[in-house]
Amino acid sequence: MENFKIDVDADGIALITFDVPGRSMNTLTSGVMKEIPEWVERVKTDDAIKGVVLTSGKATGFCAGADLGDMAEGVFSGGGDLQAAYDAGWRLNAALRALETCGKPVAAAINGLALGGGLELTLACHHRVVADDSKVQLGLPEIKVGLFPGGGGTQRLPRLIGVQNALMQISEGKSWRPKDALAAGVVHQVVPAAEVVQTAKDWVKTGKGVQPWDEKSFKLPGGGPYHPAGSQVFIMGNAMLRKQSYGNYPAVLNMMKAVYEGVQLPMDAALRVETRYFIKTLMTPQARAMIRSLFLSKQELDKGALRPAKEPKSDPKKVTVLGAGMMGAGIAYVQAMAGIETVLIDQSQEAAEKGKAYAVGLIEKRVSRGQMTREKADATLALITPTTDYALVKGSDLVIEAVFESREIKADVTKKAEAQLEAGAVFGSNTSTLPITGLAEASVRPEDFIGIHFFSPVDKMMLVEIIMGEKTGQAALAKALDYVMKIKKTPIVVNDSRGFYTSRCFATYLTEGMAMLKEGYSPTLIDNVGRMTGMPRGPLEMHDDVALDLSYKIAKQTKLDLGDAYVPNPGEDIVAAMVEGGRYGRKNGKGFYDYPEQKGSPKTLWPGLAELAPTTQTEGFGEGPSAFDSVDGLKTRLLYRQAVEAARCWDEGVVDDPREADVGAILGWGFAPWSGGPISLIDGVGTKAFVETCDRLAETHGDRFKVPQFLRDMAAKGETFYGKFGGKKAAA
């Protein structure tokens, strides 16, 4: 076998080492899936083997789960053959069931992270020993890519820890740290890493090769669907999952069905139920789109698919950050965590020190949780130098400007920093809206001037939008991408435009919400419908988060720049009145909502909004079919308005790769993940149907829904974005 090595010791214990060649992390590739039944059969039939310890040969972890690339290729290329897909999915479940019923004790020595199918592999073992290392994670995150556990996870986990706990864990896709997994009952022992294998072997010598659920006396923890307590779990679980998913994710419903039906059956039948629902989910448009965008495309972008191949690799050692506000402070933190020497400059030493204090807070939290040693924390914080002295810029490989959105201020700091930079160093602006070509006019070397747009909070948001100015060179692009990959973010590359790609498209979600407000729709309805689309928040809530005064300032600056060509956004007058009245959004506790000072207290809708935007649209939202039709219409408006803007960005050359457009939308502003992104949304409904719906919306609501001509041409030919443009940059 290529992926597993079997060593049988003098006690008859077979140490099976999982080690996929040529990879830093084990995954369940098609080759691995083929070999698992082979070694399970040997374990069953070889009398010399008295017991088994399963471990990993990788220092980085046990197993990161299924190889979704292999899975997608194998299932999606089958032309929708359900029987062939079911047979492929059942092979793993059949093998793992054979392992746990082989009659010999089997222990998992988990020496690193075990996620998805990796954890499911260990759940089929009779005993689990895990390394006492805070970096180790154990979990079932499949729901995050539109799937649910299909290797026995929906059946074994409820039988281990109870239905309620299992449903919560699977539906949220969260991970346990070793000691938390022990407390939850998922693993049996937590020991020092060096002792994991020996501890597992010690257990095998006296252990029993029978799973709890195969014992005649087994009872489901907490009870099943017809138990008084268990029935409440399913009743409440349905409501909670509906609240979380709004019916957008087939995986959530199918997972619930698999658990509900499966826990009432013997394990063999339960696993077949799980496999059927898993394959049914895998073949949904939502799962296909999410796997493509959130796994395959993201993985390609993370590995540098957009990087100019001819440019030499660079490794930024020292990076200066100009501006120590929330954005600059966050950038300084992620740089230090990546081992980059960081100079953090602000107008006063106090402001610079405050910026570093942000990193101190985050790192101290990691230390308190055991995720970082004191020595490592001190060394990381020592990398950040807060200062007002531009002379310290000298020797930097890159400068990130993160000052206030003002051309004058940005031009001033650009000149000061560039005076200290050596040839070949790159200057990156973190602006979210101002065109890079215009900002580069303050630079003496525009070929090394580029946009590097982070998202707040920087430590949590994974996307970085790189913007090419008219004169930005390929060397600067390569260095910017090398930097983004070093700090472990996902990059997309776009061409210059006001608002670029992410800010421009995201703004349409906010402005469409404002248009609805102007039309007389209830603020509560608008935000509820926004969440129902799959967006993380309603448009008014999100407007508060972004800051109303920022929208106000951007509108004023844009009006100055465009003059008579400027077209006001719907509801701009409402935002202006609120800002001029001191309502800036969540940051000062006053926006569309009032935010109480007491932490944990709910926000409430601002009563004064009723005077600025009275609710007049009340028909069709009471009862009967028209209520649902109206809600669906508003959902369509919110999603299609963003997708239309993405298509316009494509038409104008701002983006030209569907992977970037979709991944950037989901990671950048939270565009409904179930859709796979705005480009996948258009492909999913069909370009013809999308154009026809947009034409109807344009007739009713105006030219903001008018689609570009190239999309009409695609619709006439029955073309899709991924069919016509997919992988274009990767092949270049």
Give catalytic residues, as residue numbers. Answer: 453
In this structure, the number of other CB atoms found within 10 A of the CB of residue 338 comes to 18
d(CA 486, CA 478): 12
Peptide bond into 285 cis (omega under 30): no
Distances 312 to 303, 309, 319, 464, 484 between C-alpha atoms, Å: 15, 8, 19, 21, 16
The Cα–Cα gap between 618 and 716 comes to: 38
Name the E strands within 65-188: 106-110, 113-115, 127-131, 138-139, 175-176
Across the beta sheet with 175-176, the strand order is 61-63, 113-115, 138-139, 175-176
φ, ψ for residue 46 (rounded to 5)? Answer: -85, 110
Q: How far from each other are the two terminal CA atoms of the chain, in whole angstroms? A: 37
Beta bridge partners of 108: 54, 128
Question: Per residue in 114-143, is it b (16+ CB within 10 Å) or e — as a string?
Answer: bbbbbbbbbbbbbbbbbbbbeebbbbbbbb
Beta bridge partners of 322: 345, 401
Comparing C-alpha atoms, which of 58, 55, 74 is closest to residue 66? 74
Specify the pairing of strand 341-345 against strand 51-56: unpaired
Judge whether 421 and 427 are in contact, CB under 8 Å: yes
User: Could you give the 3-state DSSP secondary structure of residue 31?
Assistant: helix
